């Protein structure tokens, strides 16, 4: 899937909708990477749901975050259900791939140095921008290890899956062990986002 841009008509030709300082504005086209990123948008199939992810082998533990600071680790917490939205297709636009968005912080989940972190897409530029998109895109594998459970595989590191280790989400290579399969299996529950 490709990103699209919106150009004005009439007297606004060569001006595009761009986000800047969390506002949308019509701005004259400038040949700069930041302008192109700020004026590119994905059309998604978001149906107004958020999701909880429950551990298989620690069934009272769920994905959650304890801080919304840049590069905050994603934990699994006892009885505390984090809310995550799913962007489909994910940030790379790859078919069947998804990205996880944390609406409370406005940040995305990505893998970095084997950790699953919450990071702000707005802080990315240049080559890290491309890395960010790939690191923040995953495949959901249904019934991968156990019936009714999901496993989350990295787009750019095939064979590497999200798992919990020491109560923190990490990205590890599938080692075929029973412990790995249990740590990498989650129940995904869908909830409608309440209307305002």
Q: What is the mean pLDDT of residues 142-168?
A: 96
**pLDDT at residue 59, rounded to an integer:** 94
Calculate what percentage of the chain has a pLDDT beyond 70: 86
Q: What is the pTM of this model?
A: 0.76
Q: Is the pLDDT of residue 193 over 80?
A: no
Q: What is the mean pLDDT of residues 20-34?
A: 79
**pLDDT at residue 56, rounded to an integer:** 96
Q: Quick one: pLDDT band at residue 1, thresholds 50, 70, 90?
A: very low
Q: Is the pLDDT of residue 183 over 70?
A: yes
3-state secondary structure of 55: strand
3-state secondary structure of 175: coil
Q: Quick one: pLDDT band at residue 49, thresholds 50, 70, 90?
A: confident
**pLDDT at residue 190, rounded to an integer:** 84
Asked if omega into 13 is within 30° of 0 (cis), the reply is no
Q: What residue spans define the domains of the chain?
A: 1-41, 49-192
Fold of 49-192: Trefoil (Acidic Fibroblast Growth Factor, subunit A) (2.80.10)
Q: What is the mean pLDDT of residues 53-73?
A: 86
């Amino acid at each position: 899937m490709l990103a699209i841009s919106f150009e004005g008509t009439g007297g606004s030709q060569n001006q595009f909708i761009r986000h800047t300082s969390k506002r949308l504005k019509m701005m004259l086209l400038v040949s700069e990477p930041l302008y192109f990123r700020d004026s590119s948008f994905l059309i998604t199939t978001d149906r107004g749901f958020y999701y909880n992810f429950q551990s298989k082998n620690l069934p009272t533990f769920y994905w959650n975050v304890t801080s919304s600071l840049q590069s905050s680790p994603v934990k699994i917490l006892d009885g505390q259900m984090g809310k995550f939205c799913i962007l489909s297709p994910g940030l790379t636009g790859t078919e069947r791939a998804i990205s996880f968005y944390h609406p409370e912080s406005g940040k995305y989940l990505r893998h970095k140095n084997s950790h699953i972190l919450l990071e702000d897409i707005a802080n990315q530029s240049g080559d890290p921008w491309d890395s960010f998109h790939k690191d923040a895109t995953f495949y959901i594998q249904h019934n991968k290890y156990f019936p009714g459970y999901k496993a989350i595989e990295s787009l750019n590191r095939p064979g590497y899956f999200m798992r919990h280790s020491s109560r923190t989400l990490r990205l590890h290579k599938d080692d075929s062990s029973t412990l790995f399969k249990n740590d990498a299996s989650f129940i995904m529950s869908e909830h409608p986002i309440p209307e305002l």
